[in-house]
Amino acid sequence: MNSVMTFSRNAVDPDSISKDPDYSSNFKVEIFFKDICNLCKPTTSLESKCQYCKEKMANDMVFWQIIHDILNVIYFLTKSFI
């Protein structure tokens, strides 16, 4: 399955491109990509990813885990002090 993500002028760079008259108001960036897995979704936890994704993401898994852990700490702290 092929997918496309479209980003408007503001989404690409709200500070400079959106204010630059050299860029059309219709300026957009489209990123076309092909899904490599039909089993996992972006919301699938790292632990639950299929073996194929785990192998493909092997070099990045540690960084994703760090990001996940940081977000969990922030969530915990936010909920603890409100």
List interacting residues with Zn ion (CB under 5 A).
Answer: 37, 39-40, 50, 53
Q: How far is the CB of 46 from Zn ion (least distance, A)?
A: 11
Burial 30-55 (b: 16+ CB within 10 A, else e): eeeeeeeeeebeeeeebeebeeebee
Question: Which CB, 39 or 62, lies closer to Zn ion?
Answer: 39
Which amino acid does the sequence have at 76?
F
CA atoms within 13 A on the CB side of 41: 2
Nearer to Zn ion, 29 or 50 (CB): 50
Distance in Å, CB of 54 to Zn ion, minimum:
8
For Zn ion, give the closer residue by CB, 51 or 78: 51
